[in-house]
Amino acid sequence: MKRRKTMTEINQTKWARMRLILDKLKEQPMTLDEIECVVYEKASKIAKRTVQNYIAELIALGLVTYDPKAKIYGLAGTTKKVFKSKHDYDLALKHSKNLVFSTSEKQRFDQMDPFLALDLLAFHDVNKLCPDVDDECFVQHLRTGYQKDVYVLMQKYRQLMDETGFSRYPGFPKHFSSFEDTFGSSETPQELVSRAATHKEVKHMAKEKMKKIENLRNLLVGKIYSIINDVANGIPLQGYCKCCPDQKVMIKDKC
């Protein structure tokens, strides 16, 4: 005769399955059917009700949210996009990778100096005669999907660079028209910024402001490359840009 499980064993199984659901929702939002397949390969009616009870408890605990319009569950406290199908998800991920990763024709963030990458994004609109569409689109994603975490801080960084005169220094990366010209320089962006401190426009800049720029720059680089790492792990960029596969979504400037 099969031994009946103790209450402790039942609870352990329950929480193991609930943690599994949470782990999968970290990767991307899912429908109820998809969650059922994660917990049970072949879900019976009783198994389906069990999964629904798990989800109801996770929602009650504030760990999971439900989008009734898309009929999709997601992890609470995240800004992950909700995709109506795997096809939509695949398109969004491919689009994100095109904006983030290098190709044989163009160098992107995975092969760039992080500080140069930040400066090119922060001052992406300076070269209006020959704008970089990929940088422009990536910034639009930052503005609409990472407004408080990244975009506002990047605007503050740009403001400080302008106030101190760093952005007006002739060797500043934003003045280069291509990655090839930039990497043709024998100096790194950090060395250029450091040498700019001797320029007459910024010679007497306060140490506090220099430290603020350095701290903000390091913080932004970490945040931007964390986003890039998410894309590498299969998480599409949040927000939207003019080149997104879903052209029905309007980008609203929150600034």
Q: Which two tokens stand for residue 105?
A: 């024709």
Domain segments of the chain as ranges: 7-75, 86-232
Q: What would the pLDDT profile of 231-246 be if each residue is shown by its tens digit?
A: 998 888 988 888 888 6
Q: What is the mean pLDDT of the chain?
A: 77
Nearest-angstrom CA–CA distance, 210 and 203: 11
Q: What would the pLDDT profile of 25-80 be if each residue is shown by its tens digit?
A: 877 788 888 898 888 877 678 888 889 999 998 888 778 888 887 788 887 765 45
Nearest-angstrom CA–CA distance, 164 and 246: 40
Count of alpha carbons within 13 Å of 56, Cβ hemisphere only?
A: 6
Residue length of the chain: 255
pLDDT band at 216 (very low <50, low <70, confident <90, very high): very high
Nearest-angstrom CA–CA distance, 233 and 225: 12
The residue among 244, 255, 169 whose CA lies nearest residue 213 is 169
Q: How crowded is residue 57: how many other Cβ atoms within 10 Å of its Cβ?
A: 14
222: pLDDT strictly greater than 60: yes
Beta carbons within 8 Å of 219's beta carbon, 6+ residues apart? 153
199: pLDDT strictly greater than 60: no
pTM for the model stands at 0.56
Beta carbons within 8 Å of 125's beta carbon, 6+ residues apart? 131, 136
87: pLDDT strictly greater than 80: yes
Q: What would the pLDDT profile of 150-169 be if each residue is shown by its tens digit?
A: 988 999 999 988 887 778 77
Mean pLDDT for the stretch of residues 172-185: 42
Strand partners, 240: none
pLDDT of amino acid 59: 87
pLDDT of amino acid 143: 85
pLDDT band at 2 (very low <50, low <70, confident <90, very high): low
Q: Choose between 169 and 111: higher pLDDT.
A: 111
The residue to which tokens 């983030």 are assigned: 100
Q: DSSP character for 167?
A: G
- CATH fold, domain 7-75, is Arc Repressor Mutant, subunit A (1.10.10)
Distances in whole angstroms, Cα of residue 13 to Cα of each of 48, 93, 149? 16, 34, 37
> What phi, psi does 98 have (nearest 5°)?
-65, -30
